[in-house]
């Protein structure tokens, strides 16, 4: 990872610390979904998967074996890692000074919730909420005083690739650990890629929508997915689902495709009340695989975007960038800490590793992160 020099501009992050770095070639610490949460007492939690790697070079395959939790008490300057655990993939959220994990285990079978009442030191046993196959990254969700809305990926009807999602609503007015507090929509499957979008340069893999973020815009709920079209050769196209909650049932249907920078990879959208803006961590490609010399997708450039409506995005700047295509910094996830933004991302810093064979979890600080945003609010007539 590196900052650009003054001649070529600078990155937003003014501090970068290592949460964990793995040097053993048989282990991958970063996986694909670092997740950060800032608790009421100032504790920072960072959760990420551990994997064993099999094979050599670009043919190496990742097998997730568990999750690890790292803790910081000084706003991300130093971190203490705990032993490998059965923590869940998905989201972490705090409610009434308890922190919850909502998600799937590493085998992606079932949806569970668990709780910690001591800022992540100890955790309850996971409580099952739903059967089936589920999966998501640490993505954005909508939090209300007594409700929470999120979404998880589901496989295609034939049980194959992850091509759909379900919406989830949680009632926080009672006990979030009760299965009765949770409702689920019917699955929404990828509607297919419109004609004229793809050149079909990589017809081997089916197109997908996955890793959904839930947002609320003008009182309405939407689910924004990344799309994997033509095996990363098509970038910046988001698939949007419309979500309605009548109090009894979640009505979930496909709404539209819409351009969005970085939507070919995992992104994290969150709303920030002080700025009245939506913010987004995403990876921008400098070129698609079919135009690059190595034919490899890019996760070298992690950027911070902002928006009035989650549809039209402005770039605040580059959080971090790698110069070599053999390195990466991606799968970003953020927590607001006063005027600052704390960003965790995985990274490849050692040569010879495949794209998902990450060796490092980084924590970036963006001081006064709202300052780069232009005043894009229209003047009232």
User: Is residue 243, in this structure, part of any structural domain at all?
Assistant: yes
- Residue 67 pLDDT class (50, 70, 90 cuts): confident
pLDDT digits (tens, 9 = 90+) for 229-283: 988 888 999 999 999 999 999 999 999 999 999 999 999 999 999 999 999 999 9
In a domain, 212, yes or no: yes
Q: Write down the residue that tokens 């990363």 correspond to.
A: 232
From CA 331, how far away is CA 338, in angstroms rounded? 23
189 confidence band (pLDDT: 50, 70, 90): very high
pLDDT in tens, 134-165: 998 889 999 999 999 999 999 998 888 889 99
**What is the rounded CA–CA span in Å between residue 270 and residue 266?**
14
Q: Is residue 98 part of a domain?
A: yes
Q: Which residue has the tokens 């135009």?
A: 291
Q: Please check whether residue 376 lies inside any domain of the structure.
A: no
Q: What is the pLDDT of residue 4?
A: 40
Q: What is the pTM of this model?
A: 0.93
What is the structure's pLDDT at 7? 41
Whole-number pLDDT of residue 348: 82
The C-alpha atoms of residue 50 and residue 82 are separated, in whole angstroms, by: 12
pLDDT value at 82 more than 90:
no
The DSSP code sequence of 94-144 is EETTEEEEEEE-TT-EEEEEEEESSTTSS-PPPEEEEEEE-B--S---EEE
* CATH number of the domain encompassing residue 115: 2.120.10.10
CB distance 170 to 148 below 8 Å: yes
Contact 78, 84 (CB under 8 A): no
| Mean pLDDT calculated for residue range 366-377 | 97
Q: Is residue 285 part of a domain?
A: yes
Provide mean pLDDT across the span 284-295.
Answer: 73
Which pLDDT tens digit goes with each residue over 317-353? 999 998 887 788 889 999 999 999 999 998 888 776 7
Q: Which letter does DSSP use for residue 84 in this model?
A: P
| SS percent in the chain: helix, strand, coil, step 5 | 5, 50, 45
Top-confidence residue, 30 or 194? 194
**CA dist 104 → 114, 124, 157, 312, 376 (Å):** 11, 15, 19, 32, 39
Query: Is 209 inside a domain boundary?
Result: yes
196 lies in a domain?
A: yes
pLDDT tens figures, 26-66? 555 555 689 999 999 999 999 988 777 666 665 656 666 77
Structural domain count, the chain: 1
Name residues whose C-beta falls within 8 Å of residue 379's C-beta, 6 or more positions apart in sequence: none
In a domain, 380, yes or no: no
Domain with 261 in it: 6-366
Tokens 């998902």 found at: 356
Helix (H, G, I), strand (E, B) or coil at 256: strand
Nearest C-alpha neighbor of 206 from the set 260, 169, 157: 157
């Amino acid at each position: 990872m590196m900052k650009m020099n003054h001649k070529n501009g600078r990155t937003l992050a003014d501090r970068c610390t290592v949460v964990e770095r793995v040097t053993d070639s048989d282990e991958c610490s970063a996986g694909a979904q670092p997740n950060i949460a800032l608790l009421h007492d100032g504790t920072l939690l960072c959760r990420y998967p551990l994997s064993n790697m099999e094979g050599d070079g670009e043919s190496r395959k990742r097998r997730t074996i568990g999750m690890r939790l790292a803790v910081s008490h000084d706003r991300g300057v130093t971190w203490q890692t705990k032993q490998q655990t059965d923590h869940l993939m998905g989201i972490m959220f705090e409610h009434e000074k308890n922190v919850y994990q909502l998600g799937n285990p590493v085998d992606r079978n079932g949806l569970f919730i668990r709780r910690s009442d001591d800022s992540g030191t100890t955790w309850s046993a996971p409580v099952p909420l739903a059967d089936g196959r589920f999966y998501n990254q640490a993505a954005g969700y909508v939090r209300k005083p007594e409700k929470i809305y999120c979404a998880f990926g589901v496989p295609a009807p034939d049980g194959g690739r992850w091509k759909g999602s379900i919406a989830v609503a949680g009632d926080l007015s009672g006990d979030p650990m009760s299965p009765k507090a949770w409702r689920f929509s019917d699955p929404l499957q990828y509607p297919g890629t419109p004609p004229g979008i793809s050149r079909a340069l990589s017809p081997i893999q089916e197109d997908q929508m996955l890793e959904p973020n839930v947002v609320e815009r003008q009182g309405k709920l939407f689910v924004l997915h990344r799309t994997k079209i033509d095996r990363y050769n098509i970038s910046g196209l988001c698939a949007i689902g419309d979500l309605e909650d009548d109090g009894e049932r979640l009505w979930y249907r496909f709404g539209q495709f819409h351009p969005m920078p970085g939507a070919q990879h995992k992104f994290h959208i969150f709303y920030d009340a002080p700025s009245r803006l939506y913010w987004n961590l995403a990876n921008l490609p400098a070129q698609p695989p079919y135009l690059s010399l190595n034919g490899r997708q890019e996760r070298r450039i992690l950027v911070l975007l902002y928006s009035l409506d989650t549809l039209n995005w402005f770039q605040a700047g580059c959080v971090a960038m790698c110069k070599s295509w053999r390195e990466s910094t991606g799968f970003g996830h953020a927590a607001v800490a006063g005027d600052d933004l704390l960003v965790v991302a995985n990274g490849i810093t050692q040569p010879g590793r495949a794209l998902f064979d990450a060796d490092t979890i980084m924590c970036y600080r963006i001081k006064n992160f709202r300052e780069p945003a232009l005043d894009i609010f229209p003047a009232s007539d």
